[in-house]
Amino acid sequence: MRVGSFAVARPNYYDRNATPVIGAYGADLAPHATTTRWTTTVAAGKKVQVESHLLSAFRLTAATVVSTVVATVGYTSSATTAYVAFTLFVSNTLYYREVAQGGQSITLYSGDTLFMTTEDLATGGTVRYNGYFKGTTYDA
């Protein structure tokens, strides 16, 4: 009796109960401390393929006292945090803009967290923030 291979090819990730996952935030904000705007944590038995992201921050109105404006998209795996996109500027010029975008694909595993934060340490003024990502959640 001849036994063939017991190896069976797994379906591609997009064929393993795939569903879209999206993080979206857009707002015009006054100065504020670091604040998380959206977060997603990968469930047990799942993975997330992050397919694209966009992050931007730009000054709409001048600050009385200018300081650092920061926006990030990052992820935490175990106790380590890394940033996928990071914008930072110190400018009081109206409509000054920093943008970070990418289409690189990263894989997040069970328990990993993807998040967006904003921060404006100025006094007065308004900054518009936009932060988005699109991914696919699937069975691990």
**List of residues 6+ apart from 53 with CB closer than 8 A:** 73, 84, 85, 101, 102, 131, 132, 133, 134
What pLDDT is attached to residue 6? 60
What pLDDT is attached to residue 4? 59
What pLDDT is attached to residue 104? 73
Q: Is residue 10 part of a domain?
A: no
CATH of the domain at 134: 2.60.120
What pLDDT is attached to residue 12? 86
Q: Is residue 78 part of a domain?
A: yes
Q: Is residue 1 part of a domain?
A: no
Q: Is residue 6 part of a domain?
A: no
**List of residues 6+ apart from 101 with CB closer than 8 A:** 52, 53, 54, 55, 85
**What is the per-residue burial (b if ≥16 Cβ within 10 Å, else e) of 5-16?**
eeeeeeeebeee
- CA distance linking residue 114 with residue 135, whole number of Å: 11
What pLDDT is attached to residue 8? 74
Q: Which residues of the chain have pLDDT under 50?
A: none
Q: Is residue 13 part of a domain?
A: no
Domain count, the chain: 1
Q: Is residue 5 part of a domain?
A: no
**CA of residue 18 relative to chain centroid, distance:** 19
Q: Is residue 79 part of a domain?
A: yes
What pLDDT is attached to residue 3? 58
- Domain ranges, residue 122: 20-139
Q: Is residue 118 part of a domain?
A: yes
